[in-house]
Amino acid sequence: MSQATGTAYESDRYVGKVAAVTGVASGMGRCIALRLASEGATVFGMDINAEGLHQVAAEAAALAGAGGTITTRVTDIAEPAQCRAAIAECVDQHGRLDVLGNIAAVSWMKNTADVTTEDWRQMFAINVDGTYFMCQAALPHILASEGNIINIASNAAFMGCAYLVPYCATKGAVVQMTRALATEFVKEPIRINAIAPGGTDTPMNRDYQLADNTDYKLLKRSMAFRPLDKPEHVAALFAFLASAEAANIHGAIINADSGMTAT
Ligand SMILES: NC(=O)c1ccc[n+]([C@@H]2O[C@H](COP(=O)([O-])OP(=O)(O)OC[C@H]3O[C@@H](n4cnc5c(N)ncnc54)[C@H](O)[C@@H]3O)[C@@H](O)[C@H]2O)c1
């Protein structure tokens, strides 16, 4: 029984597999880590939030399922040296690496005039540098295990969202980084893909603050017709995409946005 969803999973498709996942202290990363553990994975969970890491590890310990576990490491993915150290620690601890999930990111809404140099650079350091340097550090181990990488992009990579200009730019970069890596490694027996969720019910989405002069007509452009998605749906897709069942999916950006980018 998964504590993340209250749903029983029959699968043991991750038994013997090691998954390094960023952003596991909250939202989608937490659900992905618990879902993979419930299907037998040894999850190496990373986040900047030590308290959230502690909680998810405790939740995993209470999981009944295929017997997976979550070990954790406080990691600031904005620091390339920390990305390298975290992946090295994962492989030292668990002996291999089969799946890398780049989930951690930040987002906030601001008028372009209010975005500081520091704001811009910090968002790129986390959302883009963090994803890239995790991929770079993990690739030798993913090649050794013939494993795979999944990056989390966003609907914001495919549409112009007012007040989210830096975020849209970082997620566009994640999409192109994924395609370019998939091309560079197309002759190798590994897979590199991205999931592009739409509005999902997590702290990131709930915590957006709007400026007093927000133009709601502009904002409406990036609203979905359907209710917010659930992080458990992204976790279910991730668990399929990172498994052997998705053997022919490589270089794909899979939209999971309840039609947001289709309309
Ligand atoms: N929630 C949405 O509506 C939505 C929509 C599309 C895409 N996304 C993407 O989904 C992914 C997960 O987002 P979420 O909604 O679960 O958000 P969340 O805020 O709930 O979780 C993000 C996690 O990343 C961690 N993090 C932030 N900075 C970090 C750093 N420097 N180093 C390590 N960890 C750090 C946070 O501590 C947090 O635990 C993100 O890539 C986000 O951009 C979210």
Q: Is any ligand 1 atom within 6 A of the Cβ of residue 135?
A: no
Q: In this structure, is residue 57 part of a structural domain?
A: yes
| Structural domain count of the chain | 1
pLDDT digits (tens, 9 = 90+) for 125-139: 999 999 999 999 999
pLDDT digits (tens, 9 = 90+) for 171-218: 999 999 999 999 999 999 999 999 999 999 999 999 999 999 999 999
Q: What is the dihedral of CA 236, 239, 244, 246, to 10 degrees?
A: 50
Q: Please report the beta strands in the chain, taking only residues with DSSP state E, as ranges in sequence order.
A: 18-22, 42-47, 69-74, 99-102, 148-152, 191-197, 253-256
Nearest protein CA to atom 7 of ligand 1, as residue: 154
pLDDT of residue 90: 98
Judge whether residue 256 has pLDDT over 50.
yes
* Cβ-contact 193, 252 below 8 angstroms: yes
State the Cα–Cα distance between residues 33 and 28, nearest whole angstrom.
9
At 67, the pLDDT band (50, 70, 90 cuts) reads confident
Judge whether residue 1 has pLDDT over 60.
no
Q: In this structure, is residue 7 part of a structural domain?
A: no
* Cβ-contact 211, 115 below 8 angstroms: no
CATH number of 108's domain: 3.40.50.720
Instruction: Find the domain containing 147 and state its range.
Output: 18-256
Q: In this structure, is residue 12 part of a structural domain?
A: no
* Cβ-contact 169, 162 below 8 angstroms: no
pLDDT digits (tens, 9 = 90+) for 97-114: 999 999 999 999 999 999
Q: Is any ligand 1 atom within 6 A of the Cβ of residue 157?
A: no
71 is written with which tokens? 């070990």
For this structure, is 216 an active site residue? no
* Cβ-contact 11, 39 below 8 angstroms: yes
- Per the listing, tokens 């963090």 go with 130
Q: In this structure, is residue 4 part of a structural domain?
A: no
pTM of the model: 0.96
Q: In this structure, is residue 263 part of a structural domain?
A: no
